[in-house]
Amino acid sequence: MSDFAVGLISNIGMITFVALSAYLLLVSGSISFGQQAYFGLGAYAAGIATTLWDWPLALGLAFGALTGALGGGLVGALTRRLHGLYFAIATLAFAEMTRLALDLWRYQRPIGGELVGPDGPNGFAGIRRAFTDGWEPLSFMILIWVLLAGTMLVLILFERSRSGAALRGAGEDPVLARALGTDVARLRVNTAAAAGAIAGLGGGLYAHLNTYIEPRLFDVMLGVHALAYGIIGGLGTAFGPLIGVLIDIGILESSRLFQGWRMVVFGGLVALLLIWRPRGLLDEATVRRLRRLFTTPARHA
Amino acid sequence: MIVDIVQTLLNGLAAGAAYALLGVGFTMMFGVMRRLNLSYGATLMFGGYLGALLASRAGGALPDAALVLLAAAVTVAGATLAGLYVERLCFAPLRGRSGVAAMVSSFAVWMQIEEFSTWLLPLHTNPYPAPFNVASWQLGALTLRPEHLLTLLVAVLVAILLHRLLRASRFGLAVRTLSDSPAAAQAVGIDAGRTTLLAFLAASTVGGIGAWLVLVADQQVTPMFGMWSMAKGLIAMMLGGLGSIPGAVAGGLLLGVLEASGQALFGPQIRELIAWGALFLVLVLRPGGLFGRAAFDLDIAAHQRL
Amino acid sequence: MLELHDVRVRHGPTLAVDGVSLDLHAGEVLALVGPNGAGKSSLARAIAGTHRPIQGVIRLAGEDLSRLGPAEIAARGLTHLPEGRPLALTLSVRDNLLSGGHVLGALFRAQERLVRILPSFPQLAAKLEQPAADLSGGERQWLVVARALMAQPKVLVIDEPTLGLGPRAAGQTLETIAGLRKDGAAILLIEQNAAMALAIADRAAVMVRGRIVAAGSAEALRNDPALARGYLGAGSER
């Protein structure tokens, strides 16, 4: 496989983590513009753990996910009274605060004769743990996709469970869900923490693949893209965000078909798509239809 | 000491007056649609780019005063025109349907307008025609910058006109009724589609004037202007209380003063952090905004009615 | 003034209105009564243009309304008072009233009209500058009625004006509505509380499962024992 293809497929996988993170909140009825914060926190935490504290890669990634979960849970708890737009803007404010704070943060140590660690706006270079441990770009790509597949499997199983149904119910009608005995506030905090963990895991992978991160990478653009991917792909299934990422990065960016005009074309297409299908390509009705298509023959056999 | 405080306050209020206009435009759009227009900043950037484009093409051929006025007209008209495009493509077809879809659609169009603008002027920094040759006047120990006075003057003028339009005209009453309750607007025969479109265009115009004031002070426009102006408009709107136009004015002024004092006390790096931090705190502690709770309470009431 | 001919309205999967024909004349109150879910409100929405019928003709003063939107229908003199008393709660009572004059054109026309109708609503005149949110349920209903009068309507379609009101406020509301007749307006009054509606109406029609099952003078329907048991009884149990 060419380096270009490996890089592209790895990128699609990592961005899908942020998109899944935004999707999970969206399904629970919350719009977040701020999932890039947990992606960034996960990237910094995992990078610091493996580079400055010399932790093994697996622990570093877990630490990244945990940091994402703590950040998501904290914001979720602080904003549990907020709904709709208020929540969305609070997440955006927190994400921008995080990015600007990372711009000010310096935490460096000499390692192998040079200073390593977060250096404000100059970023954090030399996160080489994955490659000194013997990971190749190809094997790291496979690692990303195995973890992504695992995350999606958990999400899909969760969506089919009773708690998953409760989550979707709370998203569609919180008042009804409350009347049916769901603790909506707690559910929302837990969901925010889980979404933070997913983004944090993706961030840890991102830091170790790129070996260099800087605060600027985790700006609003990433967050709103993540949100948009879920809606373009469809709110019916956890495959939706992946499809959204595939359409944008996989087809439009990689093909360089509309070089220089990509955003003009992509933006127009998305706007038209949403007039036609306001809940994305794979919306709930389509998912039900597809599921029926695949389950009916089995029943006859 | 006192002079420093007054100076900071003055700088803050001048910047805040422009933020207030950015916030008022955003608030009017939100009011009639109950939707967040993410491409708001991009439409203002488009207007700014048209003004800069005019300067780069016709700069030598026109007298300075004519260029400044023409750039102002082109910027405001460009922002309004881009607003028309956004309303027709993202919001009108989805009216009464998914709010998230409309928002994401407006985000997609943000990308579109931004790329189109940078295609017009590919350089990162583009000079924007400014009306003043004097850098500043000294008034005792105070420094007065002419663009600050211009900003304050224009902002007050726009605020008065807008107040007249909203309080003392049939269109203004229709906008306020629709913003408060679409059902009440329908019951009295207000055409929601038409009123939304016109209010959207008026809001784009107000935002365009705010953008012009900022660009005149900066004397340049960059591709960051879309994101920047949306952030300022958004913070001004939310600080004052979502949906309240006087709130947005107060929120914009407060934001200007907060930023100026933050910068004076802690340096320019802290400036932006303070703005977002203040917004986060207000949302967590007093989500209805500092100056009114009306919209938030109505929102809560609407949810409880379910 | 208002003619309906064979109107059918679909509401989701069901046919909510199944072939209704009605005539409403200037200066009369026609009560449309019937049990919950009979399709009365769907019919009102179809008349106001907020929900398109799938079949049938609706004419206002001879003009076919089927191609007009709700705002255009309102501009032709038909005012719909929907269920739920929608008001702009943060706006003042005065602004709510003025908004009722939207169809009159320039704002000063609405202001002139307000001066004319305000004496009939002394309760509102005292609270003109207060936000509508401060009003009681009964006062809100008067505000809705007064706001509708601001438009100088030829036809008023009033949906469930007494819903949620105490008996006293309900009675006063219906009296106010009955009083509107003398201005020459044609009033279609939709009520579940059949006894109260029939007491003030000139004519009445009973609607059950999308169809008109009985129609006649209000007095005749009031005294029809079969109807009183079968339909009206069911309607007033609520």
Chain C residues with CB-CB distance to B190 below 8 A: 71, 99, 102
Instruction: Output the CA–CA distances (angstroms, integers) from residue A230 to A19, A82, A91, A181, A243, in the order listed.
Output: 6, 22, 17, 29, 8
Q: Return the bridge partners of C216, or none.
A: C204
Residue B302, pLDDT score: 43
Helix (H) or strand (E) holding C8: strand C2-11
Q: Which of C188, C189, C178, C87 is nearest to C139 (CA)?
A: C87
Please, what is the Cα angle at B269 between B248 and A98, to 5 degrees?
75
Determine what percent of chain B falls in helix, strand and coil, rounding each to the nearest 5: 75, 5, 20
Greater model confidence, B175 or A260: B175
> Residues C114, C120, C121, C122: what is their CA dihedral angle, to the nearest 10 degrees?
110
Contact status of A170 with chain B (Cβ, < 8 Å): no
Chain B residues with CB-CB distance to A284 below 8 A: none
Residue C230, pLDDT score: 60
Distance (Å) from the alpha carbon of C225 to chain B's nearest alpha carbon: 37
Distance (Å) from the alpha carbon of C15 to chain B's nearest alpha carbon: 23
Beta strand pairing call for C2-11 and C78-81: unpaired
How many interchain CB pairs under 8 A, B with C? 81
- Measured in degrees and rounded to the nearest 5, phi and psi for residue A161 equal -80, 175
Is residue A150 a part of any domain in this protein? Answer: yes
Amino acid identity for residue B21 in this structure:
L
pLDDT at B140 over 90: no
Beta strand pairing call for C155-159 and C186-191: parallel
User: Hey, are the CB atoms on B36 and A173 less than 8 Å from each other?
Assistant: no
Contact status of C54 with chain B (Cβ, < 8 Å): no
Q: At what angle do helices B64-86 and B40-58 cross, to 10 degrees?
A: 150
Is residue A213 a part of any domain in this protein? Answer: yes
Greater model confidence, B240 or B209: B209
Spatial separation of the C-alpha atoms in residues A88 and A91, rounded to whole Å:
5
Chain B residues with CB-CB distance to A241 below 8 A: none
Q: How many CB atoms lie within 10 A of CB B198?
A: 16
Contact status of A263 with chain B (Cβ, < 8 Å): yes
A35 and A226 Cβ atoms separated by less than 8 Å: yes
For residue A298, give both structure tokens: 């089995």
Which stretch of B117-126, B234-243, B292-301, C184-193 has the lowest confidence by average pLDDT? B292-301
The label of the residue with tokens 């953008």 reads: B211
Distance (Å) from the alpha carbon of B19 to chain A's nearest alpha carbon: 17
pLDDT averaged over chain C? Answer: 86
Q: What is the DSSP letter of B76?
A: H
First to last CA, chain C: 32
> Where in the sequence is the domain holding A147, given as residue range(s)?
3-219
pLDDT at C238 over 50: no
Contact status of C135 with chain B (Cβ, < 8 Å): no
Tell me whether chains C and A touch (3+ CB pairs under 8 A).
no
A177 and A166 Cβ atoms separated by less than 8 Å: yes
Distance (Å) from the alpha carbon of B116 to chain A's nearest alpha carbon: 7
Contact status of A89 with chain B (Cβ, < 8 Å): yes
First to last CA, chain A: 41
Chain B residues with CB-CB distance to A278 below 8 A: 94, 97-98, 101
The label of the residue with tokens 């999967």 reads: C13
Is residue B74 a part of any domain in this protein? Answer: yes
Q: Which of A177, A200, A141, A171 is nearest to A20 (CA)?
A: A200
Chain B residues with CB-CB distance to A232 below 8 A: 104
Spatial separation of the C-alpha atoms in residues C108 and C227, rounded to whole Å:
49
Share of chain C above pLDDT 90, in %: 22
Q: Which among C50, C105, C107 is the nearest to B186, CB-wise? A: C50
- pLDDT tens-digit map of C208-236: 888 888 888 887 887 777 666 665 544 44
User: Hey, are the CB atoms on C151 and B180 less than 8 Å from each other?
Assistant: no
Contact status of A266 with chain B (Cβ, < 8 Å): yes
How many interchain CB pairs under 8 A, A with B? 120
C200 and C175 Cβ atoms separated by less than 8 Å: yes
Is residue A168 a part of any domain in this protein? Answer: yes
B18 and B235 Cβ atoms separated by less than 8 Å: no
Reading chain A (301 residues) residue by residue, the pLDDT tens digits are: 788 889 889 999 999 999 999 999 988 888 899 999 999 999 999 999 999 999 999 999 999 999 999 999 999 999 988 877 889 999 999 999 999 999 999 998 888 888 899 999 999 999 988 888 889 999 999 999 999 999 999 999 988 888 888 888 887 777 788 877 778 888 889 999 999 999 999 999 999 999 999 999 999 889 988 988 988 888 878 888 999 999 888 777 766 666 667 777 777 888 888 888 888 888 878 888 888 887 765 444 4
Is residue A266 a part of any domain in this protein? Answer: no
Contact status of A52 with chain B (Cβ, < 8 Å): no
Residue B300, pLDDT score: 47
Contact status of C88 with chain B (Cβ, < 8 Å): yes
Greater model confidence, B98 or B175: B175
Beta strand pairing call for C29-33 and C186-191: parallel
Contact status of A93 with chain B (Cβ, < 8 Å): yes
Q: Which among C100, C102, C107 is the nearest to B168, CB-wise? A: C107
Instruction: Output the CA–CA distances (angstroms, integers) from residue B234 to A22, A84, B82, B245, B304, in the order listed.
Output: 21, 15, 19, 13, 26
Distance (Å) from the alpha carbon of B137 to chain A's nearest alpha carbon: 34
Chain A residues with CB-CB distance to B91 below 8 A: none
The label of the residue with tokens 């009274």 reads: A81
For residue B51, give both structure tokens: 């003004």
At the fourth CATH level, the homologous superfamily of domain C2-86+153-236 is P-loop containing nucleotide triphosphate hydrolases (3.40.50.300)
Chain B residues with CB-CB distance to C96 below 8 A: 177, 184
Residue A256, pLDDT score: 66
Residue of B188, B196, B242, B305 to mutate when probing chain C, most C C-beta within 10 A: B188
What is the CB-side half-sphere exposure of residue C76 using CA atoms within 13 A? 18
Domain count, chain B: 1
First to last CA, chain B: 55
Spatial separation of the C-alpha atoms in residues B185 and B203, rounded to whole Å:
19
Q: Which of B79, B41, B38, B87 is nearest to B198 (CA)?
A: B87
| Chain A stretch 230-259, residues whose beta carbon is closer than 8 A to a beta carbon of chain B | 231-232
Q: Which among B169, B170, B184 is the nearest to C88, CB-wise? A: B184
Tell me whether chains C and B touch (3+ CB pairs under 8 A).
yes
Chain A residues with CB-CB distance to B109 below 8 A: 267-268, 271
Chain B residues with CB-CB distance to C147 below 8 A: 187-188
pLDDT at B303 over 70: no
Residue A296, pLDDT score: 61
Is residue B137 a part of any domain in this protein? Answer: no
User: Hey, are the CB atoms on B296 and A86 less than 8 Å from each other?
Assistant: yes
Residue B254, pLDDT score: 95
Chain B residues with CB-CB distance to C105 below 8 A: 170
Beta-carbon contacts of C45 under 8 Å, excluding residues fewer than 6 positions away, are C9, C51, C80, C82
Is residue A167 a part of any domain in this protein? Answer: yes
> Residues B180, B183, B186, B190: what is their CA dihedral angle, to the nearest 10 degrees?
0
Q: Which among B173, B180, B191 is the nearest to C90, CB-wise? A: B180
- pLDDT tens-digit map of B235-272: 999 998 887 888 999 999 999 999 999 999 888 888 88
Question: Where do the domains of chain C lie?
Answer: 2-86+153-236
Residue B34, pLDDT score: 86
Spatial separation of the C-alpha atoms in residues C3 and C79, rounded to whole Å:
15
b/e map B104-115, b = 16+ CB within 10 Å: bbbbbbbbbbbb
Share of chain B above pLDDT 90, in %: 61
C208: left (phi over 0), alpha (psi -120 to 50) or beta: beta
The mean pLDDT value for C127-156 works out to: 89
> Where in the sequence is the domain holding B22, given as residue range(s)?
2-130+143-305
Q: Which among A26, A90, A268 is the nearest to B284, CB-wise? A: A90
Residue B297, pLDDT score: 53
Beta strand pairing call for C78-81 and C155-159: parallel
User: Hey, are the CB atoms on C88 and B169 less than 8 Å from each other?
Assistant: no
Is residue B136 a part of any domain in this protein? Answer: no
User: Hey, are the CB atoms on B170 and C73 less than 8 Å from each other?
Assistant: no
Q: What is the CATH number of the domain that holds B169?
A: 1.10.3470
b/e map C44-74, b = 16+ CB within 10 Å: bbbbbbebebeebebebeeeebeebbbbebb
Residue ranges of E strands in chain A: 109-111, 114-116, 124-125, 212-213
Domain count, chain A: 1
All chains having 3 or more CB pairs closer than 8 angstroms to chain C = B
Q: Which among B177, B191, B194 is the nearest to C88, CB-wise? A: B177
Contact status of C157 with chain B (Cβ, < 8 Å): no
The residue of chain C with its CA nearest to that of B168 is C107
Distance (Å) from the alpha carbon of B62 to chain A's nearest alpha carbon: 32
The label of the residue with tokens 């099952």 reads: C213
Question: Considering only CB atoms, which residues of chain B are within 8 Å of chain C?
Answer: 168-170, 173-174, 176-177, 180-181, 183-192, 194, 294, 298
The alpha carbon dihedral of A236, A237, A239, A241 has a sign of: positive
